[in-house]
Amino acid sequence: MTLFVIFAARKFTQPIKDDIGDKSVFMFNSLPAHQRKALLDKLQQQKNQN
């Protein structure tokens, strides 16, 4: 239990950028619906080619 408290407390001192990681998810979610669909279609085509 003590270790959990220590690790949880450390989260409050970490900069936000270290905690978020890859921001591509946020960029994807900010796209309009038609651009999201176009991107998903493009990625699916690339996946099918490989």
Q: What is the pTM of this model?
A: 0.51
The b-or-e profile of 17-44 (16+ CB within 10 A means b, else e) is eeeeeeeeeeeeeeeeeeeeeeeeeeee
Specify whether the CB–CB gap between 11 and 19 falls below 8 A: yes
> For position 35, what pLDDT does the model report?
96
Tokens (6 digits) for 28:
């994807």
pLDDT tens-digit series, residues 3-49: 999 988 888 877 666 555 677 888 889 999 999 999 999 999 998 98
